[in-house]
Amino acid sequence: MRDEQKIYQDISQILLNMAPDDSIKVIVRAKPFPEGDGGEYEFDYIDSDNASDWFDPYDGAVSDLTPLIVELREYYLEQGLTNGQPVWGRCEITLDLERMKLNIEFEYGSQES
């Protein structure tokens, strides 16, 4: 299994590649399917005026991002990083483009809801 930081770097690169030109933050809300073969995604950004809006990422962004999110979920399971909870079923990924800082918030619980 790859190092967690390598997974984060790859996720950051994909978000950087999809970022709208005037964005200062890119936000992706993801709910990967339990089987790992896709998921539900929302793509938002914040611009330099602090206005938020949604955007359509480049073709193939979901198919690029899904295996990384699934890999990260499996990493958390294998390393026992779920704090005694079921594995997370959703996450919100934020890339701050001004600071080049990635943050991922995990939602633990059922993947079915």
Amino acid of residue 11 = I
* Enclosing domain of residue 59: 4-108
CA of residue 13 relative to chain centroid, distance = 11
Q: Does any domain span residue 35?
A: yes
Q: Does any domain span residue 42?
A: yes
For residue 113, the model assigns a pLDDT of: 45
Task: Please give the tally of structural domains in the chain.
Answer: 1
pLDDT in tens, the chain (113 residues): 789 999 999 999 999 999 999 999 999 999 999 888 889 999 999 999 999 999 999 999 999 999 999 999 999 889 988 777 788 889 999 999 999 999 999 987 655 54
For residue 21, the model assigns a pLDDT of: 95
Between CA 112 and CA 110 the distance in angstroms is 5
Q: Does any domain span residue 113?
A: no
Between CA 100 and CA 110 the distance in angstroms is 31
CA of residue 74 relative to chain centroid, distance = 14
What CATH code is carried by the domain that includes residue 17? 3.30.500.20
Q: Does any domain span residue 50?
A: yes
